[in-house]
Every structure is written in C-alpha cells, then in structure tokens.
Structure 1
Amino acid sequence: MTLPAVSLQDYIFTVAHAVDLVGLDDPWHGRRVGLLAAELAVLAGGDAASRKRFYHAGLLHDCGVSSTAVHQSLTAELEWRGADAHCQRGAALLLRCAPLAPMAELVRHHHTRWELLAASELYRSQPETALAANLVYLADRIDALSRASYADRSTLAMAPSLREQIIALSGSLFAPQWVEVFADASSREAFWLMLDSECVLDYQEEMRALDDGTVLSAEEFVAGAYLLADIIDAKSPFTAEHSLGVARLARFFASRLGLGDDRCAAIEIAGLLHDIGKLQIPDDILDSPCGLNEHDAGIMRSHSFATYMVLKRLKGAEEIARWAAWHHETPDGRGYPFHLHAGEMPLEARIIHVADLYQALAQHRPYRKAMSPEAILKLLQLRLDRHLLEPDLLALIAAEPDVVHRVAVGEAVPA
C-alpha cells in the first residue's frame, strides 16, 4: 500500500475534533470560535480566503490544550493567568507541520491583550497578523462568555449584558476596529442564535464543501501525525510519549515481519494516533493512582471508539483509522469496543495491539511501576496461553527482548 493522500482541510478538521474532545461537557468550543472569527472577518470585508483562514485558525486555536482542567479554566474565565502557556505550546506545534505554520502567530497571541499587542514588535513588523490574532482572541472570548447560556438556551437573554461587556473592552483586550464590527453584528439576534450546536455543525459542513483540494504530502502527513501524538501525550504525565513509543515499536515489529516501507509508515501513523480518543477522558480518571471502579472503567473503555469516530473522517485513511481504533481488540473476540475475532483483525491491528500493550507495561503508571523485559515477557506468555495474543508477535519479542524494550522506551532506534 502507499500512504493515503489526505486533504489539508480534512486534517485540520481532525485536529479540531480531537482538541474539542478535551472539552468534555462542551465539545464545540473550537468550532464556534472558528465560526465567529470567520463571520466577523467577512463582515469586516474579508474575502472567501480570509473566511477560510479565520475558520481554520479558530479550529486550531486551542491545539496546545490537552488537559480537561486547563480547558475548563480557559472557557469559564475572561482572563486566566496561565493562558499564555497553551498559546506558546500551540504555536510550537503548528510550526512543526509546514502547512499549518502560517497560523502559528495567530495561535501564539490569541490570549494577548490588544494594548500589549499594539505595542509589540509583531504589530510593527506584521500588523495584519497581529490584528488577525486579536480577532481570534475576540471570537474565543465571545464564546467563553456565552458558554453558560448554551445549556438552558438563554443566549438571547444574556446577549445584551455580554455585548456591553465586550464593547467596554475596546482598546484594552480587543482592537477597536474588531469591536466595532462585533457591536454591529451582535445587535442582531441571528448573531447569537448561530452559536447553537446544530448551526455550528451546519457551518462546519458548509466550510467542508469549500475544500480547495490541497493535499498533504507523505512527509507532511507523517509530521501531522506526530503533531497529533504530541497533543495526545500531553494529556497526562503518566502517558507522556506513550504514542511515540507505540509508533516506534509497531514500526519495529512491522519491519521485522518484512513489511514494505509504506506499510511500515502507515502502521507507525496508526500507532501515533491510536489513543486520540483518550483526550475525552477526564484527567482524574487517566491519572488515577488506584484501580478504576466500574463507572470509571466504562468511561476509559470508550476511548478506542472515540479514536475511531475522530479518525474515520480522515478520508483516504480509513484503514489506518481501523488499525488505530482496534488496539484493544483480542483474537478471542473478548476485546473492545467491537469484539472482533482473530480472522477479522488484520495484521496491522494485531501489531498495534501488541505494541500498545508492551509499551504501556514498560512505562511507569500511577498505579504501578514500569515492568522489566523479563516480567513483561512472562505476562505476555500468559496472555498467549489464553489466546489473547498472536504467537508470531510474541516470538519476535522473545527473540530480541532487550532490543524490543529499548525501542519501547526510546533508548534505541531500530536499524
């Protein structure tokens, strides 16, 4: 197989969907910010390209957030002292993937007060970029202030006070020219009503239809997968670099089994993305220092299906989506979430399953210490005895236990 030709827009939407998982009780924040920024840009005289640019910037603005606690602070408070950290992280992530790099400065400054931004070197050298970043900030804060009204549909009742609050921040938090556009637009009920989740979803599909056909190169797709893996692994200090370790180990297994370079690269990508659904798991469950109760275990088991729901929208990468989502399936049909049997699981999915299991055991977790190669091999043998593991993959591990362990924990790169 060859790596799929994934559209840039589909990839951006996938990142946005992944980041919005972190919102838990509000999975629409990024998409509402995109809508608001795009519509205000159009009302200010922006063209179709400007509309798309601001929509994409809104979708990606919180890509530096993986923690549910941080997300709740950012969407519940007008200004938050720790906000700049996720701006810096988000900008650094975007700079690592060339097609997204032009939006890095917008993300970097989407919590910078206008009175500071207007006096900055960025404004002196790139005034349009500074203004664009401030429009994303304005859209972000409109949604944050409106958040409490979505559950009981009281947005119109709250709109006058929200409008006054934002207008009062002209010149301090927000550029006067953007506040002027907002003041005019927000005097209409339609401005506030379009923030309903159904309208946000319709807007997303409208924007999806405007795809210009830009496709990621193979190198850009891999870079984009690593970007997503960094977002995933930042979710918890106990799973930091887990996705990278699974990807390394899965590629190592695939190479040892004689699979071609493109197939190995596709398996590596599936390894990088397999835990994307964990972004929706609350921090306290993921970092629990003891065993999970039935309720929390049920929430945890939802993550692989969430991975499937995020990745299946990446057109052309449907196979990779399935391999990634099936990482908790077992040959006996007792895995989850689809309860596949051995004959239904392709080799790639079986590789991801074993790589995920091994790497997790080799890594320190809040409820246990990292296990030695010998202890892991014994545990895997027990799983083989219960028909929960592929004999060929266990044989690979048994043949080179020390090498496999070093690959899993990042101490060696396979030749």
Structure 2
Amino acid sequence: MNIRMDTLIEAIAVALDIVEGELLGASTHHGKRIAALCSAMGRYLGLSEDDLSSLTSCALLHDNALTEYILSEREGWEQDSSMKLHCQFGQRNADTLRFKTNIDGFILYHHERANGDGPYGKKTGEYPLGAELIGIADFIDVSHHLQTVGPDRLPQLRRDITDNIGVIHTPLAAEAMLAALDEAMLLSLGDNRILDTANRLIPPWTMDMDSQVILNLAGFVSHIIDYKSAFTRRHSAGIADRSWIMGQYYGYDHTLLSELYLAASLHDIGKLAIPTQILEKPDKLDNDEFNIIKGHALKTYELLGDIDGFEQIRNWASNHHEKLDGSGYPFGKKANELDFNSRLMACIDIYQAVSEARPYHPERDHKTTMEILYDMAGKGYVDEKIAKDMDKALSVLT
C-alpha cells in the first residue's frame, strides 16, 4: 500500500496551524502559504522536483516543534533559548523522515537573518538556501498577513522586501520572492484559494506503507500531539506502542502493523484543535467543556479525510471513542458498524488513559486498569474478547 506523504504532511500542517492560531494568534493556512511560496521561489531558481518536494515538505513542517516550544516557555525557558529549541526540535523531527534530498539546516536556520541577527548568528552565505526561502516566506506571511493583502498593497509589500535585503532577507531569497510574488500569486494565497494553490504547487511524494519512514512519521506526529498538554505527554506514543504489541499478538504482517501504528499515533490529532485550558483543566469538565473535548474525534476524521487510500487508517483513528452499544462518539456507531481494529483502538485508548497519571487520578497498575476495562466490557461498551487478549499480552510488560 502506498501513501501520499505530501497530503498527509499537509494534514499535519493544518493541525499545526490550529495550534499556532490558538497559542500565538497566527493566521489560518500559514503552513500551506509558506509551502506554496517556497515552491514558486524554488521553481524560479530552477530547483529539481525532488528538491522542491523536500523544500515544500519542510515548509509545511517548519513549525512542527511549536507545541514543545510553547511548553518550554511555560516551564520558564528564556525566549532566546526557547526559539533555539523550536528550531532544533523541528529539524530533529524532520530529519527522521528521510527526504529525497538533503534538508540539513532548512528548519534549524529558518529564523536566521541576513545580517546575523538571528538565534544562531548566521549571516548571508552561512545557512542553506532552503532555510533562506522558508525564512523569507515565513517572515512576510507573519508580518504582512498575506491572506488579507489586496493587490493595492503589493507595491508597498515589494518595497518592504527590497528595503530589508541584507538585513533580514538574503539577496537571493529576496530576488526569488520578488520574482514569485506578483499579483496573481498574491491573490492565490487568500484563504478562499490557498488549498487549490497548495495542491497545484506542492509536488507529490508517495511512500510505501512498509517503509520505516512511515513509522518515523507516526512517532513524529504523536510527539507533536502529546506536547500540546503537559498532562498527556506520553498518551499517543503509549497507545501506538501498545497497538504494535497487540498487532504482533494477533500475528499482523508488517504492513498491517504499520497501518495500525500510524492510526494509533494519529488518533488524537484532533486534540490540537481543542483549547489548552480545557485539555489541562484539573477539575471535572462541565457539559459544554466535555462537548468541546468530544469534538476532537470528529476533527481527527476531518483532518485525515482528504488523504487518498487513507480511509481505513482514518476510521481506526477516529473511532477510538465509539462504543459497541452506540453510546460513543463522534458518530454513535454500534457493534455491527465497528470493525475489529476500531474496537481494538477503543480498548487501547481506554487502557492508556486509565493507566497513566492524570490531574484527576493517579497512575494505575495493569491489574487495576484491567478491572476498569472488564467492567466496561461487562456493560457492553467494549469488546470483551479484546479486553481478555490485552490482559494476556500486556500483563507481561508490568
């Protein structure tokens, strides 16, 4: 089975934009605008399709360490240190994806300035072209809100770019941006057109499900999700690990194991759209807050909905709060509508949530966790056979 990595990365970028909008007030579709601009600049500079694929993927993921960056600020890191961590963690995460061409420093140095006034003090010629292009696109979108800029403001925008050559922007990056950012390009970056623009400009990148890159991406995404809240630092990663163990218990081949692991890693991607103050509320949620939390499963379904060949993985991921009696969410599916791996994902999610420490309950051992899971099986919420299998497979790990 092949997966379109570019569309999956675009879905991740949309989720990152939601986080950036909540925490930093950033504009919608920021990642896709940066990728579209980088593609246009790269084509002007004569980059190959493989180079464009690597560049646009890094552009989509340039803020992938945002949740870690925000957490470092909460924990008292100085701003300069936090910015460096944002760049370091982002490069570290992207490096696991084994792009078609070299991406060394593309994300690490995307906040550098031509005059050396960046986190690492790099000047023109001391950081790679990919970082120059991502950096100029990011700076201009953040400072000028390109989704709202009309053609009448284009001359001033171009003057601002020119005035900052050698200060913020390198000469080559500015040349490429001035060549790419004409009236047609500017109009194509608006929220009503950016999705079509991104689809047109971002090169396709297909990866076989058996590739190690898929597992790396799964770990990459679960890391982003879990760092949204300090209270769920290992939740998605724990579910992915237990999904792999259960898949091995059932004798799944490597492809099916990878699909299950990826679904588990992505199951809570919709939580990136949930306000942090609700995720981290130490007290019981009121009805309105609980309904907002419940919306994360539907958001997971929506975020993963446009990826060709991803329907099965999307369903396993978004069905993790469904119950056999139809009382779950987001769709209220009943037993006959839930396949085996959807039932398995629901059981593993409960096991992980019950066993890990939360503000409202302490960490629980395997025996206590299974007592709760068996009670839910007895009430007709989850699959009893799967619960028994998990008891056998996971007890040896405690």
Same fold (TM over 0.5): yes
More displaced, 194-203 or 128-137? 128-137
Q: 1:255 to 1:177 in 2, by over 3 A?
A: closer
Instruction: Note closer, same or farther for the CA distance 1:298–1:159 as it changes in structure 2 (3 Å cut).
Output: farther
Q: Are 1:281 and 2:278 matched, yes or no?
A: no
Partner of 1:178: 173
Partner of 1:28: 29
Aligned to 1:412: none
Change (3 A) 1:197 1:259: same
Matches within 5 A, 1:288-299: 288-299=281-292
Mark the runs of 5 or more structure 1 residues left unpaired by the alignment.
Answer: 71-78, 407-415
Q: 1:212 to 1:273 in 2, by over 3 A?
A: closer
What TM-score does the superposition give when structure 1 sets the normalisation length?
0.81
Alignment of 1:94-243 (within 5 A): 94-99=94-99, 102-116=102-116, 127=125, 130-147=128-145, 150=147, 153=148, 155-156=150-151, 159=154, 162-183=157-178, 188-207=182-201, 210-211=203-204, 215=208, 217-243=210-236
What secondary structure is seen at the aligned counterpart in 2 of 1:6? strand
- 1:258-308 alpha-carbon deviations (Å, 9 max, x no partner): 444543343222212211111222222211111222332222112112222
TM normalised by structure 2 equals 0.85
Aligned residue for 2:41?
Answer: 40
The CA deviation string for residues 133-156 of structure 1, in whole angstroms up to 9 with x for no partner, is: 112111001110123x74xx4645
| SS of residue matched to 1:292 | coil
1:234-273 residue pairs with structure 2 within 5 A? Answer: 234-273=227-266
Change (3 A) 1:101 1:21: farther
Query: The residue matched to 1:92 in structure 2 has which SS?
Result: helix
Give the match for residue 409 of structure 1.
none
Whole-angstrom distance in 2 between the partners of 1:302 and 1:67: 23
User: In the alignment, is the contact (CA less than 8 A) between 1:106 and 1:132 conserved in 2?
Assistant: yes
CA distance in 1, matches of 2:249, 2:171: 61
Q: 1:129 to 1:171 in 2, by over 3 A?
A: closer
Distance 1:368 1:160, change over 3 A: farther
| CA shift for structure 1 position 379 | 2.2
Deviation of 1:332 after TM superposition, in Å, equals: 0.5
Deviates more, 1:101-110 or 1:238-247: 101-110
SS in 2 for 1:102: coil
CA 1:160–1:369 in 2, change beyond 3 Å: closer, same or farther?
Answer: farther
Q: Deviations over 1:319-375 (max 9, x none)?
A: 122111100001001111111111111111111111111111111123332233343
SS of equivalent to 1:222:
helix
Q: Find the residue that maps to 2:282 and give its secondary structure.
A: coil
1:362 alignment partner in structure 2: 355
CA distance in 2, matches of 1:399, 1:331: 22
SS at match of 1:198: coil
C-alpha distance in structure 2 between counterparts of 1:366 and 1:162, whole Å? 48
Show the counterpart of 2:327.
334
Measure, in 1, the Cα distance between the counterparts of 2:185 and 2:307: 31
Q: Distance in 2 between matches of 1:139 and 1:39?
A: 11
- CA shift in 2, pair 1:382/1:102, >3 Å: same
CA contact (8 A) 1:117 1:130 kept: no
- Listed one character per residue, the Cα deviations across residues 47-85 of structure 1 (whole Å, up to 9, x for unaligned) are 655554443332121112237968xxxxxxxx9873332
Aligned residue among 302, 306, 314 for 1:313: 306
* Amino acid aligned to 2:18: L
**Percent sequence identity over matched residues?**
26
Counterpart check, 1:7 vs 2:22: no
Q: Is the 8 A contact 2:5 2:205 kept in 1?
A: no
**1: CA distance, partners of 2:175 / 2:254:** 55
Determine the C-alpha separation between the residues in 2 that align with 1:284 and 1:104.
36
Contact 1:22 1:67 in 2 (8 A): no
TM-superposed deviation, 1:386: 1.7
Partner SS, residue 230 of structure 2 = coil
Whole-angstrom distance in 2 between the partners of 1:360 and 1:318 = 25
Amino acid paired to 2:94: L
Q: Distance between the aligned counterparts of 2:259 and 2:52, measured in 1?
A: 33
Question: Residue 131 of structure 1 contacts residue 175 of structure 1 at CA under 8 Å; is this kept in 2?
Answer: no
C-alpha contact 1:384 1:391 (8 A) present in aligned 2: yes
CA contact (8 A) 1:146 1:155 kept: no
Q: 1:176 to 1:323 in 2, by over 3 A?
A: same
Q: 1:107-163: per-residue Cα shift (whole Å, max 9, x none)?
A: 111111222299x89889xx596233112111001110123x74xx46456555554
SS state of the match for residue 113, structure 1? coil
- Could you tell me how far 1:34 is from its partner in structure 2? 1.1
Answer whether contact 2:366 2:395 (CA < 8 A) is retained. yes
RMSD: 3.4
Match of 1:349 in 2: 342
Corresponding residue number in structure 2 for 1:396: 389
Distance 1:53 1:269, change over 3 A: closer
Q: Give the Å deviation of 1:180.
A: 4.1
| Consecutive unaligned residues in structure 2, runs of 5 or more | 72-78
User: In structure 2, how many angstroms separate the alpha carbons of the residues matched to 1:320 and 1:355?
Assistant: 15
Query: Structure 1 residues 178, 401: closer, same or farther in 2, change over 3 A?
Result: closer
